[in-house]
Chain A
Amino acid sequence: NAGVTQTPKFQVLKTGQSMTLQCAQDMNHEYMSWYRQDPGMGLRLIHYSVGAGITDQGEVPNGYNVSRSTTEDFPLRLLSAAPSQTSVYFCASSRGTGASNEQFFGPGTRLTVL
């Protein structure tokens, strides 16, 4: 199993550009989520999905869109990049949301918006 994979590893954007961060998992997990990690802030939930075709907002959703057309993939779209979106983005997946359902994290995408 590859687990959770994310592409690209690094990205530099100019303000106003759009892009899609890719996330895929091969564990047949129903629950997938996107977090951003900023210094001194821990990880904060952006969007999540409980299955194909079902998505919802997390704590900091503004400026981001998601879709879930398959169980495996959960891309995150930045509509019009802003410097405040400079961060490290992590995708995570789990079988469910119970206490024993471990969330597996991908290796992250480091995004810089100039």
Chain B
Amino acid sequence: QKEVEQDPGPLSVPEGAIVSLNCTYSNSAFQYFMWYRQYSRKGPELLMYTYSSGNKEDGRFTAQVDKSSKYISLFIRDSQPSDSATYLCAMRIPNAGGTSYGKLTFGQGTILTVHP
């Protein structure tokens, strides 16, 4: 079983829709949670990060973390065609040592297409 499972999609939504992207994880040592956006043929770029349960908003994006259920979500409001990308959840263990030092554990990614 993978440590981080992400809904694989792909997702195709009309412009203006609310998008929900989800990941579950099995390792309760994960404490830092991130969402990366990756445009086609580009490297991932950090969209949001959080290290506490609850919601964090940034414009049209809301990151939600539920540590008791080991579940994180990213919501995109009023989705735009420019949001079309692969979204990757990632998480990290603070102060991890050995081969886990600084390591981000990624979900498989969800391909999102927002059509006009």
Partner-B contacts on A (CB < 8 A):
4, 31, 33, 40-45, 48, 50, 56-59, 90, 92, 94, 97-100, 102-108
Residue among A31, A90, A102 making CB contact with B102, cutoff 8 Å: A31
A105, B102: Cβ atoms closer than 8 Å: no
Name the residue on B nearest A106 (C-beta).
Answer: B43
A105, B108: Cβ atoms closer than 8 Å: no
Interface size on B, residues (CB 8 A): 28
Residue among B31, B42, B44, B46 making CB contact with A43, cutoff 8 Å: B44
B103, A58: Cβ atoms closer than 8 Å: yes
Residue among B41, B42, B92, B107 making CB contact with A42, cutoff 8 Å: B107
How far, in whole Å, are A107 and B43 apart by their CA atoms in the complex? 4
B71 lies within 8 A of chain A by Cβ: no
Number of inter-chain CB pairs below 8 Å: 67
How far, in whole Å, are A33 and B101 apart by their CA atoms in the complex? 11
Q: What are 11 A-B interface contacts by the 8 Å CB criterion?
A: A40-B8, A42-B88, A42-B105, A42-B106, A42-B107, A43-B44, A56-B99, A58-B99, A97-B101, A97-B102, A108-B43
Instruction: Note all chain B residues with C-beta closer than 8 A to A42.
Output: 4, 6, 88, 105-109
Residue among A33, A58, A108 making CB contact with B42, cutoff 8 Å: A108
Q: Mark B2-37, 1 if CB is under 8 A from A, else 0.
A: 001010100000000000000000000001100000
Q: What is the minimal beta-carbon distance from A108 to any residue of chain B, in angstroms?
A: 5
